[in-house]
Chain A
Amino acid sequence: MSSDEQDLRRSAALGAALRTNRRTFLGGGAAGLGALALGSLSPALGGAQAPGAKAPGAKAKAKRVISLFQSGAPSQFETLDPKPGLLDQFGQELPESVRKGQRLTTMTSGQSSFPIAPSKFGATRRGESGALMGDLLTHTGAIADKLCIVRSMVTEAINHDPAMTFAQTGSQLAGRPSMGAWLSYGLGSMNEDLPTFVVMVSSSATKQPLYARLWGSGFLPTRHQGVKLRSGEDPVLYLANAPGIDRARRRAMLDDLERLNGLREDEDPERDTRVEQYELAFRMQAAVPDLTDISDEPEAVLERYGPDVRRPGTFARNCLLARRMAERDVRFVQLFHMGWDHHGNLPKDLTKCVKDTDQPSAALVQDLEERGLLDDTIVVWGGEFGRTVYSQGELTEENYGRDHHPRCFPIWLAGGGFAPGVTHGETCDHSYNVVRDPVSTHDLHATLLHQLGLDHERLTYRFQGRDFRLTDVHGELVKGILS
């Protein structure tokens, strides 16, 4: 922090006397500040129940989450659930006994033939744990022993919108808070100057849109919604001072503003809060550029994330920023990477997605570990569903595509008390159905909350007369993936 900046901050102390009621968007230093924020609402208006109730006896293993969401749904065959045995079945019809009449999207339900499409790429057992992984995942494979792979995720929806909404909010239908919003509500902020819940997006192909709802706060107060960090000059909307206004001039104007607000004779806690928000905004104006300016990163670190890290807006850059946010105690960092929806041309297009995401994902885990942050940071990687073993459209030696498949898909987790080197769950030979230890999205959410010290059955919010949960009325702790 420069000395000028120190002066500006000292000058900001002017309004400090007013800050009696910290009903803040960013929260204060203490966990559970959300409780304070909601304390004045009557029961029917929500929030009278203690938010963020801790599970009895549960101790938080993790403080933060970084979610690397692979939007569009990566194929499991080329990544985390390879089935080399299928090579012998190239082009053979998928037996009806495997499909069991499960519903298909209308993109392939009319297909007369369901030819088995083995992965074009090889697979190798990686690390001491010997996890079988697609050879495309060079870098992720190299950290296989740090990962907890779940091969048996199942979901309900078969189209992107409901499936992504389900993955983020625990419900296929719009209107529920996203997980980051629940965490902001339940745990509050750990950082004075940055949002609690930050979202960043990148893409290999922009076919599958994202929606603001995916990081929305649903029926929770809007201050819990994710703040999207953009890659341009204004990482947060309207962060940069308007033309003609430098930081000193803004400081002086805010001082005027606080003086004028302070001249009102009647008391109004809402006004005090507003003054506080202007101060937070001012601090963000310094803290966010400090976060996004990576010029202090050593060359070796940049190289680890790969060449894309030098370009803003890439997945690699976002991974590096996620690490910087973990260092600054941002509670929940949500990355979205678009482009995994490979109905056709899968070999070529998936390779591009892997190239964009493989190295930075692995670099992030290693980087966190080396800085001692991995122990209390959960990193989770995965998409909204899996893909079909059979080819959508023509199957050739060189080319094929895969339709959506909700019955099984893999993810990986690292850090935050998740068991490294463990592979959990198993799918059938065609990776069509789970044969051992299915894990639902609700189960995953319950387990993530548990690691953060929250009981998913007690993290509730009353809306329209009902106590809502991230896990609805479902969710079981998955003990097998915890260390």
Chain B
Amino acid sequence: MILALLALVPVGGDGPVDFGRDVLPILSEYCFDCHGPDAAARKGDLRLDVHDDVLFVVEPGAPEESELLARLVHENPKRLMPPPSTGKAPTAAEREVLRRWIEEGAVWAGHWSFEAVEAPLLPAMSLPSGELTGWNQDPLDLLVLHRLGEQGMSPSPPAAPATWLRRVHLDLTGLPPTLEQLDAFLSGEVTDAEVVDGLLASDARAEHRTREWLDLARYADTNGYQNDFRRDQWPWRDWVLGAFAANMPYDRFVMEQVAGDLIEGGGRDAVLATGFQRNHRTVTEAGSIDEEWRVENVADRAETSATAFLGLTVACARCHDHRYDPISQVDYYRFFGFFDQVDEKGVYSEVRGNVAPILRVPSAEQEARLDALAAQIAGLEGSLLELEQSAADRHAAFRAEGEGVAQGGGEPGEAPLLEVEGALVLDGTRANAPDLGRSVEFEQDRPFTVSLWLRPDAHGAVFSRMEDTDRYRGVDLVLLEGMRPAVHLIHDWDRNAIKVVGQEPLVQGAWHHVAVTYDGSRKAAGVSVFINGVQAGLKAEVDRLDGTLATEEPLRVGTRRYAGHLAGEVRDLRVDGRVLGSGEVLALARERASAEGGVRFFLAAFDGEAAGVRRRLARTRGDRARLERDEIPTAMVLRDREVPRETRLLRRGEYDHPEGEVLTPDVPEIFGGLPDGARRDRLGLARWLVAPTNPLTARVAVNRTWASFFGRGLVATVEDFGIRGARPEHPALLDHLAADLVASGWDLRALERRIALSATYRQTSEASAAARERDPDNGWLARGPRHRLDAEGVRDQALLASGLLVQKVGGPSVKPYQPAGLWKELAGGAGQGAYVESTGDDLFRRSLYTYRKRTVPHPQLTTFDAPGFELCTARRPSTNTPLQALALLNGPTYQEASRHLAKRMLEAEGEEARLTLGMRAVLSRGPTGGELEVLKGALGRYRREFEADSMAAVELLGVGATATSPRARTPEWAAYTMIASTLLNLDEAITQR
């Protein structure tokens, strides 16, 4: 730590003090808590982040007259700064920096990353030659070399070709080279540039870059929070894959994810891109307060966008002005305003799956099926229309034959309890559902019949007289999803109730006569349902009623608590206080169908021909609905409200404390706001983000790309380009690459190509203890990169080296091996059942596709430092734990991979060739003599052991879905499997070096 500080602060060194590099961090660390941008926390009305104010306490050129310095060492503890109670005190070296800065004139400047990018001039230096000839090919390397020279450091020699090859494969694709790729390269068949170009064009590279982007995008397959139900956002993930595969210019990539729905002519894919902004978690926990969580969504979008595109952490300013960076609370809510317009709810109570706004994303094949179904439906509708037009004769015959039936059945005798003449039109809302009062009383021991004509346009409650509480006391008839009718008689759901369900669905959009009878027996068997006068088959699902059905709620039509509100029409509703016989019901049904003008009721309920067509039509429509609902994937995307929401500042960030004037969306003042005439919406924001004058977007993108190769950005704090963030050791290089990125048309692939082929990247990563001590994080770039593979890479490499990897691109997420019970232990499967492992190929897909359940992340991912995908993550830590050792030693994935790698080894001839093959498959290099000796010794030992204990061999080789029959599991294979497992556990195996 001390060394790092010494490196940053040139105490007593040569050259003038640099304000941004040397002074600002000290002021920020010791002063800004009370004298910084946060107006509320400011003491003594003095701010030391503003030049004019600083001049009150600083006399340029005269340190001894500057109050600022005097206060740092004041004898009076009341005047000493920072106050002793903070526990903070600048070191003597830091005080000296401030003294020299004042002495040199107290030069003031803005924070480096908020200043525009200017392509730096290349350093005046003689071109490197001799051993360093490789460094004169690209300004990138010259800039690094020059800076190293300034530091008195020199670069490291190039890494061995095979080491470079493995490195470039891992950093570009997340996978090591195959043996074929290794041999082709070493034999000189392909050049370095050809290797890099090939990798850049590969799906594997798109997958690896997508994997990185998903961390920032907090992408997951569940909605998080309490319920953590499944969602299907993978079509958006596939959009990212496609964007990287097509090398979409980064400015377009940003614009579409911020405002693809607003880009004219952007098409479906641009809308899909906005899924980025919906990857945040969504609350489905019943009882939550809508606005509280809607605000949370908006804040997440604003903060994620700030971090992902601008490298800014704005979250602090949500509750108060930012303590260190010049971002006020008003700035925050202006920025928040861009994301405040989404047509969404904060709470989707207990809703499973994607929540609105959503976009349908059918595949080409699904589009074709939709078209075919539409044609069939049109045909059937035509037939039906013809039948209806020719119905007069058939209706006449029906009426004639009806004379007899009506006489035979007889008219219902007693007067009904209630009769509603004419039509009740239901619009599917609770507010407009007809209320028929409380005159009809249902009781457990009292028979009744309810009959009506019904034309359902959507499922829902037909009628109810039921309480709005969790016990659901009362009576109802509902059409369930799928249009099957169900009758409830409830005292206290579901411990004391009857529920019967009809086995045949009703036809959407068609008229039916429906009658429900109950005989007062408290038994499900006492309930009957008649459709068009014919008794329907019923299934009793609950049959334990013993208690009153009485409720204060009135008889309502078309609605009931927690059921869909029915849309459609009801006619001739009638309630009798007794059980009508089947003849009576039939007569009721025939009555309207036989009446003058009753032809459409006849067609719907009694005309065999029309009924057949209608059934086929309903089936076909059902097929289409199922296709649309169950098969065609959707993604959650952005769509703004028609009526704009007014954004105000929220006091302390609390949703229920808006205050002050309405804030127009804008970018923080430090950036000068949006240009005049710019749209004040997300499209305006998107254009500003990718304008060439934006100081951050290109730098942040370059920095992230750099980190993909070096494991560390040129700015180490990838997520924070603010005043408290790390300063780049190579600012000129960062600006050079940023300016070049913009000039290239935001071509990320070209940037990656430059880095991959640079001399800087090619250096060996081997370093002496002294070099490491001087620069532990390799910020100065005097050596090549070295970092542990990421969580996905550890597994993907094992699958590739063993030949198990299935390289299929895109599609729904998959479920590889996971220890049984992990979801269940936390009740985390509650919303979707247990974790069911995939089968076949899907067990061996790249880890990018592993199902991401937010509350119970897959252990392969968390053990190796992947984030939980709940929030935007710009940088993963890289730890080194015993849990990682256990997973690699004992996890079935690695056991199975070891077995397959052993099988590959056994295909070679001779022990040495086999061992060499295994090592090359994992490390891209053969064994040294010493290593061979260890491996041979181990192999001999395992061979002896497994020959003596063949059951152990059978067990060892029996792991995973691809296990062969026990007879094929030989001791020899087992011995090589142990060797393969040893190779996969080598430090070198899981390290990019």
Residues in chain A within 8 A of chain B (CB atoms) = 23, 25-26, 39-45, 48, 53, 103, 105-108, 158-161, 173-175, 201, 203, 206-213, 216, 221-223, 225, 227-228, 230, 232, 234, 236-246, 249-250, 252-253, 256-257, 259-261, 263-264, 266-271, 273-275, 277-278, 280-281, 284-285, 338, 343-344, 393-394, 403-404, 458, 462, 464-466
Contact = CB atoms under 8 A, between A and B. Distances in A.
In order of increasing CB-CB distance, the 5 nearest A-B pairs are A244-B956, A465-B724, A105-B287, A44-B726, A25-B881
Nearest to B654: A156
Interface string B250-286: 0000000000000000000000000000000101011
B630 interface: no
Contacts of B285: 159-161
A88 B693 CA distance: 73
Contact of A394 (B471, B859, B880, B882): B471
Contacts of B394: none
Contacts of A209: 226-228, 826-828, 830, 855
A204 B957 CA distance: 40
Contacts of B956: 242-245
B856 A212 contact: yes
Interface string B464-476: 0000011100000
A465 B821 contact: no
Interface in B194-234: 224-228
B931 A242 contact: no
Given A106-B287, A213-B868, A242 B895 contact: yes
B856 A211 contact: yes
B958 interface: yes
Contacts of A160: 226, 285
B879 interface: yes
Given A160-B285, A462-B724, 12 more contacts: A106-B289, A213-B868, A222-B865, A222-B879, A223-B879, A238-B891, A242-B956, A244-B957, A277-B880, A285-B886, A465-B324, A465-B722
Given A207-B830, A404-B287, A244 B777 contact: no
Contact of A221 (B879, B955, B959): B879
B901 to A, nearest CB: 15
A260 B886 contact: no
B31 to A, nearest CB: 15
Nearest to B776: A40
A370 B946 CA distance: 50
Interface in B939-992: 941, 945, 952-959, 974, 978, 981-982, 985-988, 991
Contact of A211 (B725, B727, B855, B871): B855
B290 to A, nearest CB: 8
B886 A239 contact: yes
Nearest to B986: A260
A173 B654 CA distance: 13
Contacts of B389: none
A221 B879 CA distance: 7
A230 to B, nearest CB: 7
B26 to A, nearest CB: 11
Interface of B: 1, 4-5, 87, 224-228, 281, 283, 285-290, 296, 313, 315-316, 323-325, 347, 349, 469-471, 656, 716-717, 719-720, 722-727, 766-769, 772, 776-777, 779, 786, 788, 819, 821, 824-828, 830, 854-857, 859, 862-863, 865, 868, 870-871, 877, 879-887, 889-892, 895, 928, 930-931, 934-935, 937-938, 941, 945, 952-959, 974, 978, 981-982, 985-988, 991
Nearest to B228: A209
Contacts of A250: 889
A211 B982 contact: no
B724 A25 contact: no
Given A40-B776, A209-B227, A466-B323, A237 B887 contact: yes
Contact of B1 (A48, A107, A227, A269): A48
Contacts of B886: 236-239, 281, 284-285
A208 B895 contact: no
Given A45-B717, A338-B827, A243 B958 contact: yes
A457 to B, nearest CB: 8
A264 B87 CA distance: 45
Contacts of B779: 42
Contact of B767 (A174, A242, A266, A462): A266
Nearest to A392: B470
A238, A264, A280 — most chain B CB neighbours (10 Å): A238
A456 B766 CA distance: 41
A220 to B, nearest CB: 9
B765 to A, nearest CB: 8
Nearest to B764: A266
Contacts of A25: 879-883
A321 B822 CA distance: 20
B990 to A, nearest CB: 8
Contacts of B717: 44-45, 464-465
A244 B942 CA distance: 11
B289 A103 contact: yes
A105 B293 CA distance: 13
Contacts of A241: 889-890
24 contacts: A41-B777, A42-B4, A43-B5, A48-B1, A103-B289, A105-B288, A108-B287, A174-B868, A174-B871, A208-B226, A208-B827, A209-B226, A210-B828, A228-B825, A237-B863, A238-B891, A244-B957, A244-B958, A268-B786, A270-B788, A280-B885, A338-B827, A464-B313, A465-B324
A244 B955 contact: yes
Contacts of A269: 772
B982 A256 contact: yes
A194 B728 CA distance: 40
Contacts of B931: 260, 263
A175, A207, A273, A458 — most chain B CB neighbours (10 Å): A175
B734 to A, nearest CB: 15
Given A232-B821, A281-B889, A42 B1 contact: yes
Given A43-B5, A161-B226, A261-B986, A106 B288 contact: yes
Given A43-B4, A464-B720, A252 B885 contact: no
Contact of A464 (B719, B788, B935, B938): B719
B85 to A, nearest CB: 10
Given A43-B1, A175-B871, A236-B886, A266 B766 contact: yes
A236 B883 contact: yes
A465 B953 contact: no
A257 B316 CA distance: 47
Nearest to B769: A267
Given A208-B226, A209-B826, A393-B469, A45 B716 contact: yes
A211 B286 contact: no
Contacts of B296: 173
B703 to A, nearest CB: 13
Contacts of A222: 862, 865, 877, 879, 881
A264 B871 contact: no
Nearest to A201: B825
Contacts of B825: 201, 228, 230
A383 to B, nearest CB: 15
A221 B375 CA distance: 59
A244 B957 CA distance: 8
Given A106-B288, A222-B879, A465 B725 contact: yes
Contacts of A278: 882, 885, 889, 985
A228 B958 CA distance: 28
Contact of B870 (A174, A256, A267, A281): A174
A24 B772 CA distance: 19
A371 to B, nearest CB: 28
Contacts of B313: 464-466
B316 A466 contact: yes
A266 B722 CA distance: 37
Nearest to B892: A242
A259 B863 contact: no
Contacts of A243: 895, 955-956, 958-959
